């Protein structure tokens, strides 16, 4: 371990981080002054400034967010949409510097060494980037830029610059650009909580280490930085050291992160050329597995990944994605799909003019892997990760709506009680709540078990006749006109009902009045029929 | 790295040694559990891993759900392909764990094989209903993946056809619903409570011996229940059945009820 004086040589590369706050809101096509809440798996993942002003915070349950901001527009989270909308914005930055790395949609990092000198200093470069971003954003939205030693400190500076003691803190904030002078990064970071560094690393191990540090009273990066590096290593292991190095404002991975040999890049020629995102994404999944296996053989994890495509007309597109915690195979495949979506479905003027003929995944920065292979589904077994990958592959083949998981909605009819949602819309990685709030509530009038094994998505109209060949009716008080004797051409031998169900009578658009009847036919089959607007529908079969 | 290997490396004895020292797995251990009511249908009372099961006849869907319920409860993932009309409430009542259940829409015929084989690589239970003729090549690939990964494929009845017979074929017959009132009774004061069903099993290899059982499927709570001969019962009531109760309406009694003042 180096002495304190060694910090100079360890000082990380000076970086600029540009950030569009609440990017999912902007990508969904909304302004910050309208209350908009973006939710994923029933939790708020982003909120517009107007929604945050009334108390909506990230991580809140959807219902609680609606309570705090009743007129807020609820938008489903869509990472592909976020990435697609961000691609033109990043492409505009290519005009200023070639070294643009996307950390996530809405957050980019740029090495400033060359560009800063060219544009006349960090502040000037920052102002230029703000101007370019503001001109290319799909909706007017604020842009924040931070310049500091290292990407972590620059990211912090791109958030609200915090000052422990007014006036004394370093960090010259000029409007949206915050520049931390070289060497002043540790002082700037001192008042930030340790959890911020764990979020930056983005690993469960770092979160756990930050949690332990917090419970020991080391809540700020400043207090963590006062510890000796050897003590941190002895007590908290490598994760603690990473946090400690971030806190001291030194490069978290000196020498470890290195440019890998070019042989590690995996690519494939595509013949015939493809123009569809799902077809490209399907190939990228296989490449990502291959890349992951190759890196794994060398004991490496990928910190920064270059995604490159070449079209039939020789156009070359390349974009770098960064993740401080190392990219898993699934994360690589996901970023590749986002990127293809951004290129192929972006603004018409920027789209490639021909099909893609070559695909390359190039690990640009790697580090020694420390076994970061979290299970995909709740960190369980390998078969679960395989299942998740197989489902992702099938979703890439058939479209995301084709692969769904059940969700308990609540309701009276067999089709209403349990619906299905696309796997892309739920968070399968953690413990998944199967039931929506209110799903288990009492639903008077719902049929008790056993339930029909076949429920038809689009019930067909069918005749239910009584002994006099007249259509069976259900009166206003829920009384049947006559027992049914024929369903279509089939004789009815047994029946039960009717079960009237009047739903959402308070809402004229969604109100439904139905009456259900069970019939047993001569061949022993049993069916559930529903009467609505004077017509019987074959809703389900007790197969 | 290892030293250069001489060309005359004795490979064959090592393979032999591996075969001799490989842990012995009895066929009965390579199986997925089934509910007790269905155990008499299957060799060793369990679903052999790597096998294909076909269900047919009235109540085939309930039978398929019952077959895989215990394995789902034991931790296996279930994927239903091309079964958009699968009753998920019935599946939950049969015992399927919905948080480990995934539905895949019916793939187009040219991709059917790719999708099902991809799923067979990593999911243990597949409920499959093809729309067209399944190609023999797809069936062979599917069978190979099922055997290596130890999965089970259940063929649901549907418009599609299969080029070869399944390992185990289950045929249901004589469905008899209990709980509804006769068609000539004016009040429908009852509800479907359980179905008595005869299931016959035939198959290949270890499942070749014909088997035949009678059971309640679905039983009173949706799960399969064996039919037990109890002399004091009439023989038609499923165990645990309670006397019929009047069905309750969703709008119990609201005397001045504008909503139900006219016919539906």
For chains A and B, count residue pairs whose Cβ atoms are closer than 8 Å. 235
B252 and chain A in contact, CB less than 8 A: yes
Tell me whether residues A496 and B184 touch, CB distance under 8 A.
Answer: no
Answer whether B227's CB lies under 8 Å from A442's CB: no
Q: Are strands A36-40 and A43-47 parallel, antiparallel or unpaired?
A: antiparallel
Out of A393, A414, A500, name the one closest to residue B260 (CB). Answer: A500
Give the separation between CA B65 and CA B68, rounded to whole angstroms. Answer: 6
**Min Cα separation A281/chain B (Å):** 15
B245 and chain A in contact, CB less than 8 A: no
Check residue B153 and give its pLDDT: 93
State the sign of the Cα–Cα–Cα–Cα dihedral A143, A51, A36, A200.
positive
B110 and chain A in contact, CB less than 8 A: no
Q: Which site among A453, A479, A519, A539 would you substitute to test the B interface, given the most B Cβ atoms closer than 10 Å to its Cβ? A: A453
B239-246: average pLDDT: 42
Select from A122, A105, A126, A135 the least CA-distant residue to A22. A105
The C-alpha R_g of chain A, in whole angstroms, comes to 29
Out of B185, B219, B264, name the one closest to residue A531 (CB). Answer: B264
Give the separation between CA A336 and CA A396, rounded to whole angstroms. Answer: 12
Residue A454: list chain B partners with CB under 8 A. 61, 85-87
**Min Cα separation A489/chain B (Å):** 15
* B64 pLDDT more than 90: yes
B179 and chain A in contact, CB less than 8 A: yes
H/E stretch holding A366 reads: strand A356-368
Check residue B7 and give its pLDDT: 47
B235 CB-near residues (< 8 Å, 6+ apart): B229
ipTM of the complex: 0.77
Higher pLDDT, B19 or A132: A132
Answer whether A480's CB lies under 8 Å from A517's CB: yes
Angle (CA) A437 A443 A444, round 5°: 160
Check residue B126 and give its pLDDT: 92
Which chain A residue lies closest to B63 (C-alpha atoms)? A543
Select from B33, B65, B41, B35 the least CA-distant residue to B200. B41
The pTM assigned to this predicted structure is 0.54
Out of A423, A517, A526, name the one closest to residue B177 (CB). Answer: A526
- Band (pLDDT 50/70/90 cuts) for residue B29 is low
**Min Cα separation A405/chain B (Å):** 5
Which chain B residue lies closest to A423 (C-alpha atoms)? B102
Check residue A206 and give its pLDDT: 84
Out of A420, A496, A513, name the one closest to residue B264 (CB). Answer: A513
Walk along chain A (543 residues) and give the pLDDT tens digit of each residue: 334 444 445 678 888 999 888 888 888 888 878 889 998 878 888 888 888 888 888 888 888 888 888 888 888 888 888 888 888 888 888 888 888 888 888 888 888 888 888 888 888 998 888 888 888 887 888 888 999 888 888 888 888 654 444 443 444 445 788 888 888 888 888 888 888 888 888 777 888 888 888 888 888 999 999 988 888 888 888 888 888 888 888 877 654 455 666 678 888 888 888 888 888 888 888 888 888 888 877 777 788 888 889 988 888 888 888 887 777 788 888 888 888 888 888 777 778 888 889 998 888 887 776 544 433 333 333 346 667 777 878 887 887 788 888 877 777 777 777 877 777 666 554 445 566 555 566 777 778 888 899 998 888 999 888 888 888 888 878 888 888 888 888 898 988 878 888 877 787 887 888 888 899 998 888 999 988 888 899 999 998
What six digits make up the tokens of A292?
């992951």
**Min Cα separation A410/chain B (Å):** 11
Residue B159: alpha-carbon gap to chain centroid: 18
């Amino acid at each position: 371990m180096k002495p304190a004086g060694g910090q100079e040589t360890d000082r990380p590369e000076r970086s600029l981080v540009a950030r569009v706050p609440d990017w999912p809101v902007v990508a969904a096509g909304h302004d910050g002054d309208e209350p908009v809440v973006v939710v994923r798996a029933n939790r708020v993942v982003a909120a517009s400034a107007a929604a945050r002003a009334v108390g909506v915070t990230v991580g809140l349950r959807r219902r609680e967010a609606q309570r705090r901001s009743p007129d807020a527009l609820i938008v489903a989270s869509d990472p592909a949409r976020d990435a697609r909308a961000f691609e033109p914005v990043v492409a505009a930055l290519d005009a200023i510097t070639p070294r643009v790395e996307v950390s996530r949609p809405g957050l980019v990092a740029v090495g400033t060494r060359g560009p800063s000198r060219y544009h006349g200093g960090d502040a000037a470069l920052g102002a230029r980037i703000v101007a370019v971003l503001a001109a290319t954003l799909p909706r007017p939205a604020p842009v924040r830029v931070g310049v500091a030693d290292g990407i972590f400190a620059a990211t912090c500076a791109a958030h609200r610059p915090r000052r422990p003691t007014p006036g004394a803190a370093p960090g010259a904030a000029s409007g949206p650009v915050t520049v931390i002078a070289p060497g002043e990064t540790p002082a700037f970071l001192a008042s930030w909580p340790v959890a911020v560094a764990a979020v930056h690393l983005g690993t469960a191990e770092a979160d756990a280490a930050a949690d332990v540090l917090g419970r020991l009273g080391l809540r700020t990066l400043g207090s963590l930085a006062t510890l000796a590096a050897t003590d941190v290593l002895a007590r908290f292991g490598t994760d603690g050291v990473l946090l400690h190095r971030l806190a001291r404002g030194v490069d978290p991975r000196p020498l470890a992160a290195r440019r890998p040999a070019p042989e590690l890049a995996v690519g494939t020629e595509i013949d015939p050329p493809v123009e569809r995102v799902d077809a490209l994404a399907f190939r990228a999944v296989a490449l990502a597995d291959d890349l992951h296996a190759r890196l794994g053989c060398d004991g490496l994890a990928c910190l920064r990944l270059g995604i490159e495509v070449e079209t039939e007309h020789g156009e070359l597109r390349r974009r770098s994605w960064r993740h401080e915690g190392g990219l898993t195979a699934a994360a690589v495949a996901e970023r590749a799909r986002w990127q293809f979506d951004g290129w192929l479905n972006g603004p018409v003027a920027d789209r490639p003019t021909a099909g893609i003929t070559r695909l390359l995944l190039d690990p640009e920065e790697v580090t020694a892997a420390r076994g970061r292979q979290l299970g995909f589904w709740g960190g369980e077994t390998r078969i679960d990760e395989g299942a998740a990958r197989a489902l992702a592959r099938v979703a890439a083949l058939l479209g995301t709506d084709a692969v769904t998981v059940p969700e308990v909605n609540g309701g009276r009819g067999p089709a209403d009680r349990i619906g299905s949602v696309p796997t892309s819309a739920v968070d399968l990685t953690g413990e998944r709540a199967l039931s929506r709030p209110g799903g288990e509530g009492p639903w008077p009038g719902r049929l008790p078990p056993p339930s029909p094994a076949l429920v038809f998505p689009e019930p067909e109209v069918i005749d239910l006749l009584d002994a006099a060949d007249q259509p069976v009716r259900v009166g206003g008080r829920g009384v049947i006109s006559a027992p049914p004797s024929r369903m279509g051409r089939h004789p009815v031998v047994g029946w039960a009902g009717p079960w009237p169900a009047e739903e959402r009578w308070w809402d004229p658009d969604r109100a439904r009045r139905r009456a259900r009847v069970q019939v047993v036919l001569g061949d022993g089959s049993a069916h559930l029929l529903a009467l609505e607007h004077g017509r019987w529908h074959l809703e389900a079969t007790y197969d | 790295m290892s030293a250069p290997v001489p060309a005359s490396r004795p490979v064959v004895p090592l393979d032999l040694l591996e075969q001799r020292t490989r842990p012995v797995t009895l066929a009965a251990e390579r199986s997925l559990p089934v509910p007790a009511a269905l155990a008499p249908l299957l060799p060793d009372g369990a679903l052999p891993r790597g096998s294909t099961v076909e269900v047919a006849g009235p109540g085939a869907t309930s039978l398929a759900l019952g077959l895989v319920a215990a394995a789902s409860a034991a931790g296996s993932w279930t994927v239903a392909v091309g079964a958009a009309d699968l009753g998920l409430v019935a599946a939950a009542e049969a015992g399927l764990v919905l948080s480990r259940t995934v539905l895949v829409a019916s793939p187009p015929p040219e991709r059917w094989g790719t999708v099902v084989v991809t799923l067979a690589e990593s999911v243990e239970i597949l409920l499959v209903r093809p729309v067209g003729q399944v190609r023999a090549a797809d069936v062979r690939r599917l069978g190979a993946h099922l055997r290596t990964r130890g999965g089970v494929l259940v063929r649901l009845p549907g418009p599609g056809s299969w080029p070869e017979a399944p390992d185990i074929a289950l045929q249901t017959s004589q469905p008899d619903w209990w709980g509804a009132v006769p068609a000539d009774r004016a009040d429908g004061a009852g509800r479907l409570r359980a179905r008595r069903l005869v299931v016959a099993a035939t198959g290949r290899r270890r499942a070749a011996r014909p088997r035949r059982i009678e059971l309640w499927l679905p039983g009173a709570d949706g799960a399969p229940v064996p039919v037990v001969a109890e002399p004091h019962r009439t023989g038609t009531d499923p165990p645990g059945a309670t006397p019929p109760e009047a069905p309750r309406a969703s709008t119990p009694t609201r005397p001045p009820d504008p909503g139900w003042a006219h016919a539906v």
